[in-house]
């Protein structure tokens, strides 16, 4: 939200070109909204991962189940332990995949943060430009923002297919 306010604030500070930055402000607001919703969805995944990790150490549970499988002579009991072992291993693999996607999400957010910081700097610099340069560079910046939004949407689609 800070970037939107800065653009808005800059627009007010330099009213000679008020309409030149409005499309840029709108594009930035859309990006900020996308990032906000993305963070909300990632919070759900992160909470799930944290709660699941706190419910016990899967590595220890897997080791215990492997021990039971190896030391049980009853075939029916062994089969039940083997099913439990497979379920634990699947759960561990699923959590590993979730952790990987959350790491990727963090990297994606770092990239977005850098883009917004660059945008902030460019908008400050742009406010000293003449009208024609301002419009031209604002359009280039809008295209960059749209590309970032597309990348975020593509990444989010990948994460949804965990």
> Mapped to the 3 state alphabet, what secondary structure does 95-140 carry?
HHHHHHHHHHHHHHHHHHHHHHHHHHHHHHHHCCCCHHHHHHHHHH
Query: What average pLDDT is seen over the chain?
Result: 83
Q: Which of 10-19, 39-48, 120-129, 136-145 has the lowest mean pLDDT?
A: 10-19
Give tens-digit pLDDT for 25-61: 999 999 999 999 988 888 877 877 777 766 668 888 9
Q: Which of 4-18, 67-81, 88-102, 103-117 has the lowest mean pLDDT?
A: 4-18
For residues 124 and 75, is the Cβ–Cβ distance under 8 A?
no
Ordered by start, the domain boundaries in the chain are: 2-55+98-160
R_g over Cα of the chain: 25
- Average of pLDDT values for 141-151? 93
- Angle at which helix 75-126 crosses helix 2-13, to 10 degrees, equals 10
- Average of pLDDT values for 128-152? 90
**Cα–Cα nearest to 104, from 161, 54, 26, 21:** 161
pLDDT exceeds 70 at position 6: no
Give pLDDT, residue 39: 87
């Amino acid at each position: 939200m800070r970037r939107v306010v800065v653009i808005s604030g800059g627009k007010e500070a330099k009213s000679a070109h008020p309409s030149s930055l409005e499309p840029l402000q709108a594009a930035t607001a859309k990006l900020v909204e996308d990032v906000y919703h993305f963070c909300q969805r990632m919070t759900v995944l992160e909470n799930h991962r944290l709660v699941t990790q706190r419910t016990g150490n899967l590595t220890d549970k897997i080791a215990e189940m492997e021990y039971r499988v190896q030391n049980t002579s009853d075939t029916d009991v062994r089969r039940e332990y083997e099913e439990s072992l497979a379920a634990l291993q699947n759960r561990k693999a699923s959590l590993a995949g979730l952790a990987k996607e959350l790491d990727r999400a963090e990297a994606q957010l770092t990239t977005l943060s850098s883009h917004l910081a660059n945008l902030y700097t460019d908008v400050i610099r742009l406010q000293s430009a003449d009208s024609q340069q301002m419009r031209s560079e604002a359009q280039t910046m809008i295209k960059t923002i749209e590309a970032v939004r597309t990348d975020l949407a593509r990444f989010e689609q990948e994460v949804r297919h965990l």
